[in-house]
Amino acid sequence: MSTSINETHDPSLKSWVASANTGTSDFPVQNLPYGVFRRAGSQEAFRPGVAIGDQILDLAALAARKPFDGRAGEALAACAGDSLNALMALGQAHWSALRLALSRALREGAALRAEIEPLLVAQADAEYTAPARIGDYTDFYISVHHATAVGRQFRPDNPLLPNYKWVPIGYHGRASSVGVNQRFPRPVGQTRPAAEGETPQFGPCARLDYELELGIFVGAGNAQGERIPLAQADSHVFGLCILNDWSARDIQAWEYQPLGPFLSKNFASTISPWIVTMEALEPFRTQWKRDAADPQPLPYLASEANRERGAYDVQMEVLITTEKSRAAKQPPARLSRSNFRDAYWNVAQLIAHHTVNGCNLQPGDLLGTGTLSGPQPSEAGSLLELSQGGKSPVELPWGETRAFLQDGDQIIIRAECVKAGYPRIGFGESSGTVLPART
């Protein structure tokens, strides 16, 4: 089963939650993303919710009232716990049924309004946790623009390794340090010796960086030994979130050979609270393009359908605040913008490749896209690129510069889908703040 345009995508739909109809909200009734929340400062159990305008519909409380039957009722019953894993495991038919039922219940004139309205919680009064128990986290490297820009700093004559254009490159990250709206201490570790043969240096990272990414949440998994073919890959993806996979570049430079990143990546990975479902993103599918001069994907990663509709038009931006800017009440400064559609590989290809050897994905597993840099220098998704490895610090509007992140810096990443004649679909934001190292 694959998703398609249906009544939930009708651009004329309005919600009885007035804040969903402003045109500037991330969460109109055509979106309905999922998260896990509780009232801020309370001892309540975390529970699944759906964002609508500036409110959250408490799905655990709604499940207790059993307003839906059939697959929608079964899917809602799976939202009674403290994560979305049970819902993710049910599969696409159940997700779609619940989305339809929620859409009808939240539209203007809905018969269920009186029953649902008391179950709304203002987003301003909520705090969030990771929307799923993430069993495994795999980070990919799917922006050829990022790979080329970074590779050029180390291998000017041959920035891309021979395998890059043939295989989606990835590594297994640390799931336990993935979190929402994180505040984390600057990582500490070994860095390259001042001269070859000398003792490595040890201390706080001096070249801390962000990475502009999207996260892909796996829904229904696959049995060990079974592949997920490209044609079925979409049905195994629950939705997308924003991801900032922070990187300690100086620690990374010392440790990454021969087995790749380790302590340079596992201290924090910040996601947004909300997962935008693939069904909500259906109107923003677009053609996936591969330059004719480049190697074309092997057959297990290629199909006409994937070429025609495999990419998603998701515009992203990175912003920064500092201790100085916040004290002066300056607005966040934009560092860059880029678009997911420019990635070298797409979501379905990542799922197909991850499982081609029989690897078993599980509900709630997280895949990262890797840094999503665009083709222009202004579309770089990291400070490593923007500052050219620290050689050209970025100037900020309030008079500071940044080659890499300093203590107190906050990175905000936002994402949205915009299309003429259709309501804007937003992702909320991922926010993370660097604290001083613990030494």
Active-site residue numbers? 146
Residue 250 in tokens: 């100086």
42 residue type, one letter = S
Residue 329 in tokens: 């009440």
Pairing assessment for the beta strands 366-368 and 137-140 based on DSSP bridges:
parallel
Residues 6+ apart with CB under 8 A from 344: 142, 143, 144, 147, 165, 290
- What is the helix (H) or strand (E) element at residue 88, kind and residue range? helix 85-90
> Are 255 and 193 within 8 A, CB to CB?
no
Tokens 């078993």: give the residue: 360
How many whole angstroms separate alpha carbon 35 and alpha carbon 128? 8
Residue 78 in tokens: 């799976």
> Burial of 362 by CB count in 10 Å (0-12 exposed, 13-18 middle, 19+ buried)?
middle
Question: What three-state secondary structure class fits 84?
Answer: coil
At residue 428's C-alpha, the angle toward residues 422 and 433, to 5°, is 155
Nearest CA to 102 out of 18, 3, 29, 25 is that of 29
Residue 210 in tokens: 């962000």
How long is the chain? 439
- What is the helix (H) or strand (E) element at residue 355, kind and residue range? helix 347-355
Residue 81 in tokens: 């716990």
How many whole angstroms separate alpha carbon 436 and alpha carbon 393? 21
> Are 210 and 273 within 8 A, CB to CB?
no
> Are 27 and 20 within 8 A, CB to CB?
yes
Tokens 């990262």: give the residue: 368
